A and B are shown apart, each in its own frame.
Chain A
Amino acid sequence: MIFINETVASLRQKLDKKEISARELTQSYLDEISKTDVNLDSFVTVCTETALKQAESAQKKIDGGQALPLTGIPLAIKDNICTEGVLTTCASKMLDNFIPPYSATVIEKLSAQDAVFLGKTSMDEFAMGSTTQTAFRKKTKNPYDTEKVPGGSSGGSAAAVSAGLCAASLGSDTGGSIRQPSSFCGVTGLKPTYSRVSRYGLIAFASSLDQIGPIARSAEDCGIILNAISGFDPHDGTSSKKSPEDFTAKIGAGVKGLKIGIPKEFFSDAVDTEVKEAVLKAAETYKSMGAELVDCSLPSLKFAVAAYYLISSAEAASNLARFDGIKYGHRSEKGATFNELVKNSRSEGFGREVKRRIMLGNYALSSGYYDAYYGKAMALKQRFREEYKAIFEQCDFIITPTAPNTAFRMDDNITDPAKVYLADICTVTVNIASLPAITTTCGYDKTGMPIGMSLVGNMWNEAQIIGACDAFEKTFTKISPKGGR
């Protein structure tokens, strides 16, 4: 049985009505993974035994009438989210053998609902990239075309949902790592407001930008999962103390009377025509549903990529310094002194892209350069907040392309990293300004690849963009991928 068109919400009904048992559901997904993932490489680790055990325990809850929204729902987890007793590699040689002795708070929260964990999904090494091709082992393919990239860094999580290898998944988003692969793989991905979801147990890339969020087949599913994983966590001092709310509250509410901003800088020549047209067409759909379209502007967008790469690389350089081969992870065979051992372990353990960012970050923080680079980038952070504040005084949320283009071929070997970085232009300001954003498919290009649009809300307004996203999804007919089958 393939559940490629089933959402978390519809599976909930099937489970509760006993149309299928949690074990059967889990087994079906596991079978699909073993059949098709050889063509997709979306999973780094598959947890067959524990998943079936979790399904059994979920079934007991269902039988006892104690099912919660995610009880018995098979999920996949990005491999940078710590899972006690299960390999958590960050798709890096550095952590190829790392089994954390603790679970991330999001995992604890999902376990409390008796969700089922099918396994860990591949990603760009340490979440640095937008292709999932920097992964040490599993370079994930796009389920719509296995010659093409799934996007990244949460490429494994997006591809697994897209191909029907899990009901939904968790990704992490530092500069677009949930939204861009969701867009490339034709699924829905939500990056929550910074601090909405605990980061405890998420192996840090850039602490001030990282957020864990859901990748699913609908906006409603994203809301259901956000309901489960959000909330204050005493283990994360930066997590928000806001009281819980229902992020599916605006499902079905429509967009009548809402003001939707169209920031002109996001529709420049840097964005493919097909993409622009699809997103603007979606905006027209909203208009036809009773929303008002408003022109707006984010004047500093041209500085966004530079600011993002300075802040994220600086924090990454510091966050990744702990991987020295002494306590865990890859340790070199060579090295007579501490410094040599650390140098060799890091040289061998990290891939090229990670090394590039570590060097960039350390350079930006160096004495004499701090003010010119990191200091300037932090000043820009403030400016983005102000510009977004002005935008949200005019409108309820904005609509933008999720990426300037659709998924490209793996052999489109782009060697200039600066060019690759520029493709992040549509997503990074959301992280810099701590905002929530959701992406969903709004069309397909002439080769059949999905086009994503993003709705960006003001801080804490997830419910609204989830509701608006749902309104569009109900008007849009999706085309399922071949899924590597």
Chain B
Amino acid sequence: MAGYIPVIGLEIHAELLTQSKVFCTCSASFGGTPNSRCCPVCSGFPGTLPVINQTAVEYAIKAGFALNCGINQFSVFDRKNYFYPDLPKAYQISQLNLPLCINGLVPVEYTENGEKKTHDIRINRIHLEEDAGKLTHNDLDGVSFADYNRCGIPLIEIVTEPDIGSAEEAKAFVEKVSLLLQYAGVCDCKMEQGSLRCDVNISIMKPTDTELGTRAEIKNLNSVKAIGRAIEFEIYRQSKLLDMGGRVVQETRRFDDNKGETKSMRSKENANDYRYFPEPDILQVNISDEQLSEIKAKMPEMPDKRLERYLADYAISETDALIIINNKIIADFYDEAVRTYNNPKAVCNFITGEMMRRINIGEIDINEITFTPEQLAKIVMMAETDVINKSNAKDVFRALVENPCDPEKIAADMGFVISNDSGKMIEVIEQVMSDNPKAVEQYKNGETKVFGFLMGQCSKALKGIATSKAIKDELEKRLSR
């Protein structure tokens, strides 16, 4: 089953970070007691009317700028009609023919089979719509519950052209879009909470084919990993089908995360006819040139600009800068920390080293960092100015993670603050040397590797008394006598 080219297009749904919903004033925040964040408008009571939230329009346009789209200054909302228990009006207010943003471009870099690749993915459109509610089913009692809290949360749908050729590329694209939306400040992109969701359209074709194959749509993938696995499985499934002389049917499929397989949900014949028509309750959106430039002026610093700034102002390596920039929370944390202690290189090393390590092993929850950038900056500053030993900085940091408080107090309580008592230092070094005559002898005979052992003995005894550098200098001096 070799020789097929996958053709993949994505639809990404991203919830916008507005305070209120898109057509009423209810809170748009995640969660809440079921049906505590809804009103007659978003729960579709008769006679109620939607009123457009201008911030949602602004955020959708910002998303457009972030993905290098053109903006339709004249835009129209439409009704998408279908019955489903999570859709109280039985239609979703969306945009069909005149979406807010069109024709974008997102460059992605990714590694495939050890090879670094870059590709520009075209964005067909971004339109603004409302999210639906959430259903929970209690199979035991055979009852279902509808929670309308999510109804009316502003959502943008980002639709790509079928430009994506592999699972790796798709994953890199979703990560890039997610990063750009976070930098634009319009979406928190928490896939696990559903604020970013992805549908995959995928078909395969032979290199010699002139027409695209029949595509399947895989709905509602809720992690980057699932996107990759679903694509891999679909390529396998469709290739096998074609190899066996079968054909792919146009249908909607669901991905089973446990089995790693996609399953048919409904075929094209059973697809809804959404009977779209222009939403008569919402006036057409007209965005003036002034409004557009105002929104553009409000765009936060995007990753490319931040990279330029880090390289120019902070003089850190591009590799380090990218590690930081590729996570907006880390990057913002870094900027704050540097504001407290203006040593970008040292702060960068500590964050990319010790802090990232603890994030990776799960000791720090990146979404709920309990300590402040100022506290981290203080630790780095203490280590850099020999207030504590560099090796002790990690211990102070660990204590900070466990129990956030003033790092200077932590260092003092742990006895790490160096007193710089040189008399005491010399005394200890001499003691260690006389306790270990054999090692001293070996060193003098050229076996310099024992230096580490002696240094360790001294450091242990001189904790909080002398800096490592001072101990090292003094020990070297005495050994070479």
Q: Which A residues fall within an 8 A CB radius of B? A: 80-82, 88, 90, 95, 98, 100-102, 104, 199-204, 206-208, 234-238, 314-315, 317-318, 321-324, 326-328, 338-339, 342, 362, 365-367, 370, 374
Whether the pair A338, B47 counts as a contact (CB closer than 8 A) is no
- Looking at B48-56, B161-169, B200-208, B373-381, the stretch in contact with chain A turns out to be B48-56
Whether the pair B89, A95 counts as a contact (CB closer than 8 A) is no
Q: List 9 A-B contacts (CB under 8 A).
A: A102-B40, A318-B79, A318-B81, A318-B277, A321-B91, A322-B46, A322-B90, A326-B88, A370-B275
A342 touches which of B43, B45, B83, B89 (Cβ 8 Å): B83
Whether the pair B273, A367 counts as a contact (CB closer than 8 A) is yes
Interface SS of chain B: helix, strand, loop or mixed? loop
Whether the pair A100, B47 counts as a contact (CB closer than 8 A) is yes
- Cα(A327)–Cα(B48), bound, Å: 14
> For residue A327, which residues in chain B have a CB less than 8 angstroms away from its CB?
43-45, 88
Most chain A beta carbons < 10 A, residue from B43, B44, B144, B283:
B44
B281 touches which of A238, A321, A338, A370 (Cβ 8 Å): A238
> For residue B276, which residues in chain A have a CB less than 8 angstroms away from its CB?
365, 370
A365 touches which of B45, B49, B81, B146 (Cβ 8 Å): B81
Residue B228 interfacial (CB < 8 Å): no
> For residue A317, which residues in chain B have a CB less than 8 angstroms away from its CB?
81, 275
> For residue A81, which residues in chain B have a CB less than 8 angstroms away from its CB?
47
Question: Given A104-B47, A338-B85, 4 other A-B contacts at CB below 8 A?
Answer: A100-B47, A318-B275, A365-B277, A370-B277
> For residue A202, which residues in chain B have a CB less than 8 angstroms away from its CB?
47
- Cα(A295)–Cα(B51), bound, Å: 43
A362 touches which of B47, B49, B275 (Cβ 8 Å): B275
Q: Shortest CB–CB separation between residue A44 and chain B, in angstroms?
A: 16
Which chain A residue lies CB-closest to B144? A338
Whether the pair B146, A326 counts as a contact (CB closer than 8 A) is yes
Residue B282 interfacial (CB < 8 Å): yes
> For residue B281, which residues in chain A have a CB less than 8 angstroms away from its CB?
204, 207, 237-238
> For residue A199, which residues in chain B have a CB less than 8 angstroms away from its CB?
49
Residue B280 interfacial (CB < 8 Å): yes
Are A322 and B44 also in contact (CB < 8 A) when A339-B83, A366-B275 are? Answer: yes
Q: Shortest CB–CB separation between residue B301 and chain A, in angstroms?
A: 34
- Cα(A90)–Cα(B282), bound, Å: 24
Whether the pair A235, B49 counts as a contact (CB closer than 8 A) is yes
> For residue A315, which residues in chain B have a CB less than 8 angstroms away from its CB?
277, 280
Whether the pair A207, B47 counts as a contact (CB closer than 8 A) is no
Whether the pair B49, A324 counts as a contact (CB closer than 8 A) is no
> For residue B46, which residues in chain A have a CB less than 8 angstroms away from its CB?
82, 88, 90, 95, 98, 100, 203-204, 322-323, 328
Are A203 and B50 also in contact (CB < 8 A) when A318-B275, A339-B83, A342-B83 are? Answer: no
Q: Shortest CB–CB separation between residue A177 and chain B, in angstroms?
A: 16
> For residue B40, which residues in chain A have a CB less than 8 angstroms away from its CB?
100-102
Q: Shortest CB–CB separation between residue B243 and chain A, in angstroms?
A: 34
Contacting A at CB under 8 A, from B167-220, are: none
Q: Shortest CB–CB separation between residue A78 and chain B, in angstroms?
A: 12
- Cα(A2)–Cα(B155), bound, Å: 58
Contacting A at CB under 8 A, from B30-52, are: 40, 43-52
Which chain B residue lies CB-closest to A101? B40
Q: Shortest CB–CB separation between residue A45 and chain B, in angstroms?
A: 16
As a 0/1 sequence over residues 101 to 131 of chain B, the CB contacts with chain A under 8 angstroms (1 = contact) are: 0000000000000000000000000000000
> For residue A338, which residues in chain B have a CB less than 8 angstroms away from its CB?
85, 144
Whether the pair A82, B47 counts as a contact (CB closer than 8 A) is yes
Which chain A residue lies CB-closest to B51? A237
Which chain B residue lies CB-closest to A208? B280
Q: Shortest CB–CB separation between residue A381 and chain B, in angstroms?
A: 11
Whether the pair B91, A237 counts as a contact (CB closer than 8 A) is no
Q: Shortest CB–CB separation between residue B272 and chain A, in angstroms?
A: 10
Which chain B residue lies CB-closest to A236? B49
Q: Shortest CB–CB separation between residue B98 and chain A, in angstroms?
A: 14
- Cα(A335)–Cα(B50), bound, Å: 31
> For residue B47, which residues in chain A have a CB less than 8 angstroms away from its CB?
80-82, 88, 100, 102, 104, 200-204
Which chain A residue lies CB-closest to B46? A203
Are A237 and B81 also in contact (CB < 8 A) when A100-B45, A100-B47, A318-B277 are? Answer: no
Q: Shortest CB–CB separation between residue A245 and chain B, in angstroms?
A: 22
Q: Shortest CB–CB separation between residue B461 and chain A, in angstroms?
A: 75
